[in-house]
Structure 1
Amino acid sequence: MAEVVRGLPRYAVYGAPMELLIQSLERTPTPLTLRELLAHGGKPGKAPTPDVLRRSAVYVQRELPIRLARRVRQFYSLPFIVGSNPWVQSVARLYASSFAQLATAPPIETPEGHARFTRVLQGLVNDHAENVPKLSRGFMECKEYMDTNQVTKFLNAALHSRIGIRIIAEQHLALAAMAEQNSSNDTQTEYRLTPTSIGIIETQMRPMNVVLSSCDYVRALCEATFEIAPKVEFDGDIEATMVGVPVHLEYVMTELLKNAFRATTENYLSKRKEGIATSEIPSVRVTFGSSRDHVSIRIRDCGGGIPPQNMNQIFSYAFTTANEQKAAETNDEPADVASQGMQSGMGTLAGLGYGLPMARLYVNYFGGSDLDIVSLWGHGCDAFVRLSRQMGSSDVPI
């Protein structure tokens, strides 16, 4: 039997360099906070200075290999038959390859070196874009070899870590884009840079604006699927602002609104077929609340609620009302594709049941925030999102 060091054999794990892997595993990830990210990102709406950009790059080059090494070790801990699954193994090898690229990259000492590093980092972000759909399919195929608790524990750690890795990488890439935009007067960038943003962090994020953007997308999707869609009514403190990551909140709101729109529309169409529907489809109501410590959002629908026997499963991975086989098909008719799209904001994850658990991970990531669902069976659901204003709260690296 191969000699084992810190739970790893003395040979390459999914192709990762063993000595470098062991060195990184001996180090502890730095807790990630919005406050720290803002402190190292310069001023809102201003291009970072070369010194700020260099310090950010050095931080990324130091921090990411530590987190990536832990993911490689986590994949190695899976039962052999699960780790050998082609979908799971492809993600594991990608993490190992990314670790090797960053762990062996030369120190960043010149603008040219920073430009090369940024290109590598952008490539890695693009390469990992489909990790979640791949993992979902892999674990669906391996569900008989791991119980629900084991799968949940693995995926919570893997997806929690993925959020942190992407925040670190995309924050630096957004800062680099701001610097490039400033030097070339080019207004084109994939990152949403505003006069009040620092990288991907918005210092004056207005949740109402995020919800409006999600509503437009979900309404179009609902109309394409069912030919009708409920209206959305807003009340409460719609002017509330806070520090946050808009793309994270947009994912959460899109998932919750998809559930509300789909349930409301299906419930209305069912009642109309029975001749007991109201003259108009009921509205979805979004209410905002604000206090010194939190901004709260409630999404209320009249979609009939969740059956009581299913309530304890709604935050479990792979729990879905969609048919598994249909969700896995790739040659559906357009209407089927649109219907599956109402299941999830992850595109190819449609119908695989990862929407709510991932939404909760995003909400909880920086601590002090939460997501909960309250169902009134036979009437509808209330989804509650509480967003903390405490920027000092940090993730707990796993």
Structure 2
Amino acid sequence: MAQAASVVSRLARTAGRQAASTVRGVLRSRLADSYPQETVDEIFAFALRKQTGVSLKYMLDFGANPIQHQMILSAQFLHRELPVRLARRVAELENLPYGLSSKPHVLKVRDWYIESFLDLRKFPPVRNAQDELKFTELLQMIYSRHTNVVPLMAKGVAELRHELASEVGLNELPEIHQFLDGFYMSRIGIRFLIGQHIELHAEPMENHIGMIYTKCSPWKVSQDAIDDARSVCQRKYGSAPEVEIYGDPTFVFAYVPSHIHSMVFELVKNSLRAVNDLFEEQGKESPAIRLVVAEGAEEITIKVSDEGGGIPRSDVPRIFTYLYSTAASPLPFVDDEGSDGPTVLAGYGYGLPLSRLYARYFGGDLQVISMDGYGTDAYLHLNRLGNMQEPLP
């Protein structure tokens, strides 16, 4: 969706193409039940402002020498930008269809966003190094406050799914999936901007600029993700198929390692489960999964191939929708505390759509091609140029 589109028009479409004035009234009346009118007016005013996107290359260039003046400029940018992004999400959370806005877990997430918005608005302008240090402390508090947003939202949507199960499948509700894509993409951006600023205050590490590792080896990160995924599989099944990895271990580029790890972990985990389930049922030895890291001029591609039986063709369009899962039953939520990558919500169908959003955040993508009856190939594309601006919702 075009960034220039107004929040009002987007909300109107999401709520069933109501007139913008109606959306305004709904927003004000709902929020006014819990917050002063001046707070509601301020949130709505900020929700109409334009967001400012950044690129990975910009973050690299800006953070290469984090002198005091640059840290102040970074804080000033976040002081202006974050309230706009938070206000837009509050506006959307207030106007979701099918009663999703009134779910207790969704209301809690909304209130976290409002609290952070108010904290930022109350903080005075950042003018010097002392102000910047205090502002960074506020950012750390906000970062911590929003740690469990993904599992809480998932619980709220799962509740809606349960209520509508007898009427319509959640996969048939494109408004919900469109909202979740935009909401989670925005969250990725907010957490990356905050996390990057905080990390620039940490003890300097060689070849690191905040969260970005300038000599990140996708081969080595993939190997770590493979080891972790096989360990999980081993604990659950008592065994794990082999994973063969191909590529150049010495190739490096600038990227966020935790993002690659989480995305590859999700893809390999899915393949391990598919292969193990199929061949355990047949009583045969499991074939190895293949992971290839290919270096292109503009992108790095990581391909994960398995012989786990594939996905029925009718299900392929649904694998990137939320709450579609091939797992037998949902497992407990695993909170993403301390993680800068996709949250693992096994059995809730969030792994693939969240991984695709993380890939797209820096200009990449995730594609899945399946041969029903044989296996699946997943292609994770990572932009190596770092020149793509955030795809702001």
| TM-score above 0.5 | yes
Query: Relative to structure 1, is the Cα distance of residues 370 and 282 closer, same or farther in structure 2, using a 3 angstrom cutoff?
Result: same
CA distance in 1, matches of 2:266, 2:32: 39
| Alpha-carbon distance between aligned partners in 2 of 1:32 and 1:74, rounded to the nearest angstrom | 22
1:375 aligns with 2:370: yes
CA shift, 1:110, in A, is 3.9
Instruction: Give 1:321's aligned residue.
Output: 326
What is the identity, as a one-letter code, of the residue corresponding to 2:343? M
Name stretches of at least 5 consecutive residues in structure 1 with no aligned partner: 183-193, 331-336, 338-343
User: Within 5 A, what are the aligned runs for 1:345-364?
Assistant: 346-347=343-344, 349-364=345-360
Amino acid at match of 1:327: L
Secondary structure of the residue aligned to 2:201 is helix
Residue of structure 2 equivalent to 1:84: 102
Query: 2:28 corresponds to which residue?
Result: 9
In structure 2, distance between residues paired with 1:233 and 1:15 = 56
Residue 58 of structure 2, aligned match among 36, 51, 56:
36
Identify the match of residue 317 of structure 2 among 306, 312, 316.
312
Which of 173, 186, 194 matches 1:169? 194
Aligned to 1:290: 295
TM-score where L is the length of structure 1: 0.83
**Are 2:23 and 2:95, in contact at CA under 8 Å, matched by a contact in 1?**
no
Say if 1:203 and 1:283 are closer, same or farther in 2 by CA, change over 3 A. Answer: same
- The Cα shift of 1:62 comes to 1.3
Instruction: Read off the aligned partner of 2:373 and give its amino acid letter.
Output: G
Secondary structure in 2 aligned to 1:234? strand
Q: Is the 8 A contact 1:15 1:97 kept in 2?
A: no
Shift of 1:6: 5.1
Structure 2 regions of 5+ residues with no counterpart? 1-20, 335-340
TM-superposed CA distance for 1:204, in Å, is 2.0
Contact 2:362 2:382 in 1 (8 A): no
- Cα distance in 2 for partners of 1:67, 1:154 equals 14
CA–CA distance in structure 2, aligned partners of residues 149 and 4 of structure 1: 22
User: In 1, are the aligned partners of 2:48 and 2:88 still within 8 Å (CA)?
Assistant: no
Instruction: Measure, in 1, the Cα distance between the counterparts of 2:78 and 2:22.
Output: 29
Which position in structure 1 is the counterpart of 2:77?
A: 59
CA contact (8 A) 1:288 1:296 kept: yes
Contact between 1:15 and 1:93, CA under 8 Å: does it hold in 2?
Answer: no
SS of match in other structure, 1:9? helix
Q: Per-residue displacement from partner, 1:258-311 (whole Å, max 9, x unpaired)?
A: 101111112221121xxxx24xx3211111111211111111112111122211
CA-atom RMSD in angstroms: 2.4
SS, match of residue 200 in structure 2: helix
The number of aligned residues is: 356
TM-score in terms of structure 2 length: 0.84
2:49 aligned with 1:27: yes
Match of 1:334 in 2: none
Q: Distance in 1 between matches of 2:181 and 2:233?
A: 30
In the alignment, is residue 101 of structure 1 matched against residue 112 of structure 2?
Answer: no
1:50 is aligned to 68
How far apart in 2 are the matches of 1:317 and 1:370? 17
Which of the numbers 235, 246, 254 marks the counterpart of 1:224?
A: 235
Give the counterpart letter for 1:205 in structure 2: C
Alpha-carbon spacing, 1:132–1:5, altered in 2? closer, same or farther (3 Å): closer
| Map of 2:260 onto structure 1 | 249
- Does structure 2 conserve the Cα–Cα contact (< 8 Å) formed by 1:254 and 1:345? no
Distance 1:32 1:93 in 2: 27
Match of 1:121 among 123, 133, 139: 139
Contact 1:371 1:385 in 2 (8 A): yes
1:40 partner SS: helix
Q: Which deviates more from structure 2 when the two are superposed, residues 250-259 or residues 201-210?
A: 201-210
- Give, in angstroms, the shift of residue 14 of structure 1: 5.8
The code of the aligned residue for 1:152 comes to H
| Cα drift, residue 36 of structure 1 | 1.6
**Any idea what SS the aligned residue of 2:331 has?**
helix
Q: What does the per-residue CA deviation read over 1:324-362, in whole Å, with 9 as the maximum and x for residues that have no partner?
A: 5x536x8xxxxxx9xxxxxx9735x22111100111111
Task: Please state whether the residue corresponding to 2:389 is helix, strand or coil.
Answer: coil
Per-residue deviation, 1:197: 1.5
- Matched with 1:141 is 159
